[in-house]
Structure 1
Amino acid sequence: MSVIVRKPGLYTSIQDLGRQEYQHIGIVKNGSIDQLNHRIANLLVGNNEEEALIEMTVSMPTIQFTEPTLIAITGANFPAFRDQERISPYKIQLMNKGETLSFNDAHKGTRGYLAIAGGIVADEWLGSKSTSIRLEMGGYKGRLLQESDEIEMCRNYTPLQKKLFENLEVSKSASWGLDQYTLALNYFSDIFHIISGEGVTHLSDDDLKTLESKVYKVSNRFNRTGLTLDGEPVINSNFKNQPFLSVKKGSVILNKENQPVIMLNDHQSLSSYPQLGTIASYHIDKLAQKKQGSKIIFKIINIKEAELNMKKHAQFIKQVKTGIRYKLTEELNK
């Protein structure tokens, strides 16, 4: 049995946490861009947090279920509906046979994540089910989801998931969930840390300090490869015949107009454009939810500051995961 895509949405694909060890040969990581919301969605339905799920972007899909299953929706604030009934994100939901999941436009954010208990069947390539659109590998036939696609469910349910089916048979929705305000500080700030000394080329300390005084906005050129920002040029110099340097997720480069471009999961491996540095890893998930017109303000930090912030961020994520696991244990013991 399967879930059927009735409307594909704008940019809907199957993603896990990506390919981990192949960038040195030019194969980028792919995977969910907002990995925190990916992990939370899977944890809520009792999956391993790395399990493949459906990443949905800007315009959401409509999906019909051909058998009962458990789902969780996380990410951008897209109002969600089970048939005509409004349902809550960040909660476990029971979908029955024939029911349809649909969405309205998001109030905030760009990307949503749909986890299905037990996981989904997808093409695996280089140890990952993530869709590589550019190479047409992984996920569902190596492409975006289209109308009438049928995605098989693994249905390898654990004792916990079987108990959740039993507990939600009548209510269809868990009485608890993750409070979205818990994640607010992680997502709603417009300030992004750039780590100095990582990939910086041809820019003085004064150039980088000037960068902090500018306010940029996300242009209409944003996708899984990266975000191009609108605003004052960072510098007025033209660099020619530059050597190619490696690019990674979070690299901030300057395009021909000297506007910043922030690389995301499907970035190219090399670039000859000047680099400003690298967005701190703990701000990448926030970056994934910025839409056209969103403000971006850069703050330069050093590696020591980044490490301290990363430890705080890791502790925050640990607390979120611990809370979810505690509530799931309560469900198992009902």
Structure 2
Amino acid sequence: MSKFVNKEPKKKFHSELWEEKQDVSSNIKSIKRNEEFYPRNPLFIIIIYQLIYLSGIAYSLRKFFLVSQKWKNSLELSDRKSIFGSRQDQNDLEWKIFIPILLECAPYAFLHLFLAQFIKCYCPQVLRPFYITFSTVMMWKILGLFGTSLCYLIPIVMFVVLYSRARYLEKMMEDNGEREYTTSVIIAWIMLRCVSFCLITCDEDPERTKPDLPYLLDILSYSFYFPNFITGPYVPYKDYRAGVNEQFERWTLKKFVWFSLQIGKFLFYLFFADTLLYFFYAHSLQYNPRYIENFNPWTIAGYYSFILIFFFLKYVGFSENVYINEKLNLMS
């Protein structure tokens, strides 16, 4: 019987193994060759580079701090004062609405986390409808009827455009600058998520072979996922879908302690970022270009360093901790 056995698959398997080994060996050789031409720096050299970089950042921030204090009486600052007597810069509209909304929504975010974990454990098939329902209630509370209807309109119209290929409907997605700032921020996040959903769906199902209802539930639950609904950050649809489909992981004491530490870290960054606005007035200065024109290079470097640092502090949010516990990976 062994004479009639087909030996071609075995030969093919061995040839594929040989090709893989050749590829691995060639990659190793190329890595070694690159290390010969571009040797790695010693650790002390890297430490020196880091110290020089951090010293430059610190010096430029000091120059910018001195300029902020010099012109603070000429800038439009709030009446809110720190314990040191300095007034706060509240010209960053996003940060100005972020704190009140965060204080209002933080308890509901904890409730969302608890209910989502419970549903994921005992009834995962209703997780997406739960996301939609919970965020709809919160939207109604924060934005009212008009804002909620507008937020619902975006994913529904995008869904219709995706499946009807009616390009004239794209005009309905144009933004309107007369709406309130909070609504415009939420719309921007929803549009970004809808684009992510549509691109992934077009790649995976270009011929529309799958039923429509699961897709509609997906785009609504993804668009209205509450922890990042208002403040972000952005999570790609693939990562969201992978997190929703993950098996439920039971909470342990270690997991709870780690989660509490993450919340503590966020509260520290929140307090730190809010405190910085009492001493660095970058957002007020950006509306006064006559002052910025007189900045020397070090002050300009400090100005942009502060803008960048504050941007990252602003998006180290409570929602990140919920993502980690619900197995939703942030965009790197």
The interval holding the TM-score normalised by the smaller chain is under 0.3
> Could you say which structure has the higher helix fraction?
2
Structure with more contact order per residue of length (Cα contacts < 8 Å, sep ≥ 6): 2
What TM-score results when the alignment is normalised by the length of structure 2?
0.26
Rg larger in structure: 2
What TM-score results when the alignment is normalised by the length of structure 1?
0.25
> Could you say which structure has the higher strand fraction?
1
